[in-house]
Structure 1
Amino acid sequence: MKVKLLTALLTFILSITFLSNAEAKCRRVATVKYQQRYGWSKKYTVKVTFMTGMELNQATNSYDYSSYSVYAIIFWGEGQATVIKLKSFLSCGYEVTCDCIDNAIYDLQGYDQDGDKWNICLGDYCY
């Protein structure tokens, strides 16, 4: 399994924020996969948290994320997370809501901090 390690500080701050501030984000169970050199990885069913870059910057006390972009965050374990900047069109505005995420017509796609492409399927039929 490909797991991206972020700093312990980022994970700690995000974990505390997610536990204490549930109204500004959306969590969904999704089937995810990432693009490898010769095709796609196997599929993983995981919990994905969606936030705007503005929300993510506030959660991490940084300016590392594009304020008006939407991000998908997958926590794999202690100190391990993948942050994916979504390229799919979502009309979330300044705050991600579950309605915004649930209204996506197609699978969500984006790139993680290492430039690897990810596919996030929220529906019942994931290819």
Structure 2
Amino acid sequence: MFKKIVLLSFLAFTLTSQVEAATRAQVCVRYEKTIVHGNPDYYNDPDYYNSIGELPPYTTKEMSKAYNVVGVLSTGRELNQVTHTSDYEYYRNYLIIFWDKGQASIIKANNNYSIAPDRGEVHYSWTDGIDERGVKWEFKDNKYNGICY
């Protein structure tokens, strides 16, 4: 955990100090969360639902409220160079959001054309990606509106 925080702090410092202004973008983001409904103890065998690959009947997934943030746009190649790793797909595009000291979400775009790091652009309609923890995210450009909904 400590290693991850140090890496994120290093990444935040390096990316924010080395990237051009064009690689930053005002975006709306939201993440997928699981909502638990009812009492899981009510069901006889909740593990049965997991074994057949479905969510138990007392949970649902929905998107969080949207947040208006400044994201850093990057390619996998750039992330690998900055972190001195090969953890990121070379030709993939990423959206990086720094929340607080040592906290960041690195979101790999599912559609590589939804982010253009070289032009500092993000697609104008909701598009999705996934972060390193497997959390699904949706994001869109917000440079003109200022309000996320």
TM-score, with structure 1 as normaliser: 0.78
Q: CA deviation at 1:118?
A: 0.5
Point out where structure 1 has 5 or more consecutive residues left out of the alignment. none
Distance 1:25 1:8, change over 3 A: farther
Q: Which residue of 2 aligns with 1:74?
A: 97
Distance 1:78 1:115, change over 3 A: same
Question: 2:68 touches 2:148 (CA, 8 Å); kept in 1?
Answer: no
Q: CA deviation at 1:54?
A: 0.5
User: C-alpha deviations, 1:6-37, integer Å up to 9, x for none?
Assistant: 81222232123223322396111111101122
Match of 1:14 among 6, 11, 26: 11
3-state SS of paired residue (2:80):
helix
User: C-alpha deviations, 1:37-82, integer Å up to 9, x for none?
Assistant: 2311111111111100000001111110000000111100001111
CA distance in 1, matches of 2:130, 2:91: 16
Q: CA deviation at 1:96?
A: 2.3
Question: 2:93 touches 2:112 (CA, 8 Å); kept in 1?
Answer: no
- Sequence identity of aligned pairs in percent? 34
Q: Which residue of 1 aligns with 2:67?
A: 44
Q: CA deviation at 1:117?
A: 0.9
Point out where structure 2 has 5 or more consecutive residues left out of the alignment. 35-60
Aligned-CA RMSD value: 2.6
TM-score, with structure 2 as normaliser: 0.68
Distance 1:33 1:90, change over 3 A: same
Q: How many residues align?
A: 119
CA distance in 2, matches of 1:6, 1:71: 21
- Matched residue type, 2:91: Y
Larger radius of gyration: 2
